Amino acid sequence: MPAPEVVIGVDSSTQSAKAVFVEAATGRILAAGRAEHRVTGEAGARESDPEGWWRALCEAVAEGFAGAGVPAAAVTGIAVAGQQHGLVVLDRSGRPLRPAALWNDTRAAPQAAALARVLGGPAGWAARTGSVPVAAVTAAKWQWLREHEPRAADAAAAVRLPHDFLTERLTGTAVTDPGDASGTGWYATGTGAYDRRTLEHIGLDPVLLPEIAPTGATRVGPLTASAAAALGLLPGIAVAAGTGDNMAAAVGLGLGGAGLLGRPVLSLGTSGTVYAATRARPVSPALSGFAATDGTFLPLGCTLNCTLAVDKMAALLGLDREAAEPGGEVVLLPYLDGERTPDLPAASGLLTGLRHITSREQLLGAAYEGAVVTVLRALDEVSRACGQDPAGPGAADVPLRLIGGGAAGRHWVETVRRLSGRPLLLPHGREPVATGAAALAASAATGEDPVALAIGWGAGEGTELPATERDIPTWERVVRVLDRAGGTLLS
C-alpha cells in the first residue's frame, strides 16, 4: 500500500523550530519534531544566529521523519512560518553579517519613537502601513543598525525577515509574503507593495529586499538539491512562500473562512497576542494592522511579557507554574522585558499591594493576572477593527479561541476565563502555527486554497468551556495600577 501524501509545516519561533508531518488528505498529524535554538542578549538586546534557525529546522525535520515513518518520496511540500519582525542582514554570499535582532529586542525604541513622529505621525503610519512603529518593527531595527553599527548596515547585500531567510535556504529565491512583510513598517497594506516614503526615509534600498509573492500565490519554487540533501527530502518538491507566525496560526485555525471572520484568538506564548481576521483593512494606531497571507487582514494587539515572564516569576518564587492562587490585593505587572502594548519599551516589573499575609502563591497568581489583563485590554480595539461593538449585545458570548503554550496550562486557562468573563474554545490541535504552515505547503503542492484545506482538516474545532462570572474587582485593580503607572513609574 503506497504511503499517503505528506506535507511539512515548520514553526520557527523565538526559541525553537517545530516541524509537523501532516497527511495532506486528512490533516492528521503523523509526527512532530522539535529543536531549540539560542537567544542571547541583555539590557534590552535579544538576538539569535540565523544559522541556528536553519540547524534547528533540519534537526526538527529529522526528528519528525523518525516519528512519522514515511519515505522521503511521500513528502510533496514544505512551508515555514516564522517569528515576525526580526532583522536579518546578509552578505553577498547569503551569510549573516551579524546576529538577527529579534522582535522582542527593545533597543530600537528611540528610533521607533522618532519614526512615529514623521511621515504623517501615528495616523499617517496607520493609514499607509497599517501600524505605528514600535521597537519591535523591523524599520526601527534597521534605523538602530544604521546608527549603532553603520559598517554592518553599509555592508548589507540583503535584508530579510526570519521566515524569508529560511525560505530562501529552501528555494534559493529571495521572496516574502504580504503577511509577514506587513510587520516591517516598510510595506503598505493599502497598496500591497513596499512603501517608498518609508524606505527613502530610513535609507533602505529596495533592491536589498525580497520580492513579495502575490496574495494567495503560495508556491514560490521547488526545493533545491542542497536543501533537499540537508533535510533528507527529494529535490523539486513544492515550497510555499510561508508567512509570519500569527498569520500561519490564522490559516491553521481557518479564521479566513466566512463563519469565523471577526472571531477573536488569544495566543499565550513568549508574547501574548489577540487578533481576528477581517475583510476590512484596519487603520487603528492602537493596533498592528497586519495583512494576512490569504487576502484578509489581521488586526492584532501584542504584548512582550506572557508565559516566559510568568515562568520567570515562578522560578524566582521557587514554585511550580501551576501552584498559583488568585492575587488578592496584590498587583504585579510582569514587564520584565519592557512592554509593547502599552508602548513602554523601558518598563520594568511593578509590584504593589503587598501585605504580611501575602503568599508566594498569590504573588505568582498576580503575575498571571497582570499578563492576562494587559493582553485582554487590546481585545476591545480588535473587535472595533472588525466592525463590532465590544460592549454590544452578545459580544461577551463570543468564545475566545485560546492557543499557544499557555493554553495547555490550567492556571492560564482559568485566569483568562475569570478575567474575560467569556467562554473559551480550546482547539484540539496544539500546533496551529505549524498546521497553518502545513496547509500552505499543501496549497503549494495542489493549488487548493489553504484556508479551505485547513477547514477541511477540522481547523479550529475544539473543546468549549462555558463562561464564568467575570472577576471585575481584580480587573479594575490591575487596570488602575497600569493606568496610574503609565510611562512614569515604569520608565
Please provide the CATH number assigned to the domain covering 6-245.
Answer: 3.30.420.40
DSSP conformational letter for 457: T
3-state DSSP of 80-100: EEECCCCEEEECCCCCECCCE
What pTM, to 2 d.p., does this model score?
0.90
Active site residue 245: yes
Label residue 299 exposed, middle or buried (CB < 10 Å: 0-12, 13-18, 19+). buried
Q: For residue 209, what is its C-alpha cell?
A: 529586499
- For the chain, the structural domain boundaries read 6-245
Count each helix (H run) and each strand (E run) in the chain, helices first: 17, 24
Helix (H) or strand (E) holding 79: strand 75-82
Provide the residue type at 161 as one letter. L
Q: For residue 245, what is its C-alpha cell?
A: 507566525
pLDDT for 487 equals: 43
Catalytic residue among 164, 245, 294, 449: 245
Instruction: State the maximum Cα–Cα separation within the chain, in Å, rounded to a whole number.
Output: 69
DSSP string, 127-172: HHHSS---TTSHHHHHHHHHHH-HHHHHH-SEEE-HHHHHHHHHHS
Residues 53, 38 contacting (CB under 8 angstroms): no
Residues 76, 222 contacting (CB under 8 angstroms): no
3-state SS, residue 181: helix
Q: How many CB atoms lie within 10 A of CB 456?
A: 16
* Binned average pLDDT, 10 residues per bin, the chain of 491 residues: 85 96 96 96 94 98 96 97 97 97 95 97 95 95 98 98 98 96 96 96 98 86 97 98 95 88 92 93 91 92 92 97 96 90 86 96 97 92 89 86 93 97 91 95 95 90 94 96 66 38
Residues 185, 127 contacting (CB under 8 angstroms): no
**pLDDT tens by residue, 40-57:** 999 899 999 999 999 999
**pLDDT tens by residue, 291-345:** 998 889 999 999 989 999 999 999 999 999 999 999 999 999 999 988 888 888 8
Q: For residue 23, what is its C-alpha cell?
A: 497527511
